[in-house]
Structure 1
Amino acid sequence: MTAPLLPASKDHAKTRVTLVGALVNVVLSAAKIAAGLVLASPALVADGVHSLSDLVSDVLVLWALRHSHLAPDEDHPYGHGRFETLATLALSAVLLLTGLGIAWDAAVRLVTGAVSAPGVWALGVIALSIVGKEALYHYTRAVGAREGSRMIIANAWHHRTDALSSVVALVGVGAAQLGFAWGDPVAAIVIAAMLGRVAWEFGKGAVDELVDTQAPDGLRADLQDSLSRTPGVQGLRDLRMRQHGARAVADVSIMVDPHITVTEGHRIAEAARADALGRIDALEDLIIHVEPAGHFDGFGATEAPLRGEIEGLILTLAQAHPMVASVARVQLGYFEDGLHVELLASLHANADHAATEADLTDSLRQTLPELRALSLHRQADEQSGLQA
């Protein structure tokens, strides 16, 4: 599938804020790097490189937005949400590498003594950068929070670190102006440390998501509450939830009355799924497995013979009974204590129902020791349904 030229409408806000950020970063990075070179300020150059790394992150975000909203396809059956995660991880790597480069350059200047006081105009450029990047941070973070996008929020923090690094650069350049020439490269090293910390925080979150770390407890609690509200759900187990880009996917087993039909169990599951997806905006998909309450493991679930192994035997013995004309249906119940069998059969007119049921139970138990209960229903009763 070819990515569209523009993301879907729900991503327009993310795209717009990222393009605004890219434009601001182009202007600021060019201004700071040029001023840093002209005014001999390594801290200002480092700050400009930081803004340039912001521009790289903006490009990564735009790339992710082009892909993450696409619907599932043959190659990506779970959708493309993790393109955002991949972009967040790449952004973290850019932050880390930028920080290491800045720290190395500043350390070399300190060791070699190649430090000097930058021109006074450096202070004005830095002040302009602080105002611009702080405003961009608040704008971007608001959009990320509204859209529930950790990638956009991470990019906002990238803008915030640029603003904070400009504050550090301002202090360093100011110190150099007062005669402490080492203040400029020291400020650059502090900026690098800030970059490394932010890179760790967002990189760890992205890695956690890629290795399917459990989703936050609050989100899991919301899902548990929603599922438990559904009529017919008697309990939950094996709830697993993981992040998938900006949203989450989950799978869970719901407990239902073991005596209901498969179709009723399926209806309960679909109702629970629809309610959860409607209540929880952060939930992208939910897979529900239906299990019988009180009988989801043990003999009935793991050891009892399957229908193909015993249905022929049951039919043969039942139809061999002199009072049974034919058997229309065999219904099997798998429980902890063994098999519960219900037969829908046509009986001869003179058949004693209770006696026939008792005879069939004794006969089947001789060859099917797993049998714990047998119920015989006349075929004429089919309109009113099988009775327990």
Structure 2
Amino acid sequence: MSEHLITAERREKLLRWVSIASISVAIILVATKLAAWWYSDSVSLMASLIDSVMDAGASLINFLAIRYALKPADDDHRFGHGKAEALASLLQSILIALSSVFLLFYAIDRISNPTELNFAAIAIAVMVLSLFLTISLVLFQRYVVRRTKSTVVSADSLHYLSDILANIAVIVALVLAGYGFKGVDAWLGVVIGIYIAYSAWEIASEAIDLLLDKELDDETRERICEQVRSVPKVIGLHDLRTRDSGGVVFVQMHLELPDQMPLLEAHKIADQVEERVLSLFPKAEVLVHQDPISVVPEPHPLPAEDS
């Protein structure tokens, strides 16, 4: 079954469950890491704590954005509310970037003014728990992204993926601190801060692409053309325009049809083209314009399928 073939009800349920799971995990991690950092005074653990605080805030924003994005189109928003997801992702990237800047300043200060760490088995235990919860959440988020194509869940998943690496780094720092390698903790804080900033840039780039209606990738556009090619009597195709908004794909195109084709037949062919596109994207908004081949300045015949 195609990954796009998912009912609106199923998509909505998955998005609601994953947003609740994200908030729940973030709250648990903030509480446990706060206690562990208070005891150990570890920079890398503080880095992970800051990241989890940002996660909690971002997850709440995502939850509200998903609820709004799932609202059906209305008179004031004819194309739906899907771009709320991209706006939430962009806001999330700003929060993540600010947290990385704060962390970098804190870690650099600790490098200049090193302090003694309180090695604690409880701190390592907290980080192991954090690692387990984060991996479980990311696996669930990846499943939801594959099924729903949600931008905001994809951004959240990317952020939590960076958390996995950060949690591993914190565990290493705490263990090495127990063996007398004090400087590793602060330097790992710097590395984590840089990685978090990079993650923020990736999230922002994807959100901006969606807000600016970037075209779908070449492979997806080719799949659309293949479906158009499969409809008899279609001579060519031009001005194919595509975009994604909150999991809803918008497709516009001009069909090149024979001059003498009756309007009723042209209409039926356009309906067939729309049905073929909907076989790829059941929730897509498809707009097909029919052009007589003689009025097309430069016809764009569809290439014959490979034999």
Structure 2 length normalisation: TM-score? 0.88
Instruction: Name the residue aligned to 1:290.
Output: 290
Deviations 1:79-123 (A, max 9, x none): 111111111212222221211111111112212x14322322322
Instruction: Name the residue aligned to 1:247.
Output: 248
CA distance in 1, matches of 2:126, 2:59: 22
Instruction: Name the residue aligned to 2:115.
Output: 115
CA distance in 1, matches of 2:147, 2:10: 15
1:8 CA drift (Å) = 5.5
* Contact 1:235/1:255, CA 8 A, preserved across alignment: yes
1:264 CA drift (Å) = 2.6
Instruction: Name the residue aligned to 1:185.
Output: 186
Instruction: Answer 1 or 2: which has greater strand percent.
Output: 1
1:283 CA drift (Å) = 5.9
Instruction: Answer 1 or 2: which has greater helix percent.
Output: 2
* Contact 1:118/1:173, CA 8 A, preserved across alignment: no
* Contact 1:47/1:165, CA 8 A, preserved across alignment: yes
CA distance in 1, matches of 2:265, 2:228: 16
Higher RCO (CA 8 Å, separation ≥ 6 residues): 2
Instruction: Name the residue aligned to 2:218.
Output: 217
Answering whether residue 18 of structure 2 is matched by residue 47 of structure 1, we say no
Alignment of structure 1 residues 187-206 onto 2, 5 Å: 187-206=188-207
CA distance in 2, matches of 1:21, 1:67: 17
Unpaired segments ≥5 residues, structure 1: 1-6, 299-388
The amino acid across from 2:193 in the alignment is: A
- State the SS of the aligned residue for 1:251: strand
The amino acid across from 1:276 in the alignment is: V
Between stretches 260-269 and 59-68, larger displacement belongs to 260-269
- State the SS of the aligned residue for 1:14: helix
Instruction: Name the residue aligned to 2:130.
Output: 129
Unpaired segments ≥5 residues, structure 2: 1-7, 299-307
- State the SS of the aligned residue for 1:239: strand
Instruction: Name the residue aligned to 1:276.
Output: 277
* Contact 2:234/2:255, CA 8 A, preserved across alignment: yes
1:50 CA drift (Å) = 0.9
CA distance in 2, matches of 1:242, 1:207: 13
CA distance in 1, matches of 2:151, 2:128: 29
CA distance in 2, matches of 1:27, 1:104: 26
* Contact 1:40/1:119, CA 8 A, preserved across alignment: no
Instruction: Name the residue aligned to 1:345.
Output: none
Deviations 1:324-344 (A, max 9, x none): xxxxxxxxxxxxxxxxxxxxx
- State the SS of the aligned residue for 1:79: coil
Instruction: Name the residue aligned to 1:371.
Output: none
Deviations 1:111-169 (A, max 9, x none): 2x143223223222212211221122112211221222232122122222112111111
CA distance in 2, matches of 1:207, 1:223: 24
CA distance in 2, matches of 1:191, 1:273: 48
Alignment of structure 1 residues 213-362 onto 2, 5 Å: 213-277=214-278, 279-281=279-281, 284-297=284-297
1:216 CA drift (Å) = 0.6
CA distance in 1, matches of 2:215, 2:162: 28
The amino acid across from 2:155 in the alignment is: A
Answering whether residue 177 of structure 2 is matched by residue 173 of structure 1, we say no
* Contact 1:72/1:80, CA 8 A, preserved across alignment: yes
The amino acid across from 1:43 in the alignment is: S
Report runs of 4+ in structure 1 exceeding 6 Å deviation: none
Structure 1 length normalisation: TM-score? 0.71
With over 3 angstroms needed to count, the CA separation of the structure-2 counterparts of 1:222 and 1:282, relative to structure 1, is farther
Answering whether residue 96 of structure 2 is matched by residue 95 of structure 1, we say yes
Between Structure 1 and Structure 2, how many residues are aligned? Answer: 290
- State the SS of the aligned residue for 1:166: helix
CA distance in 2, matches of 1:215, 1:147: 16
CA distance in 2, matches of 1:118, 1:135: 29
* Contact 1:148/1:282, CA 8 A, preserved across alignment: no
* Contact 1:212/1:243, CA 8 A, preserved across alignment: yes
With over 3 angstroms needed to count, the CA separation of the structure-2 counterparts of 1:226 and 1:170, relative to structure 1, is same
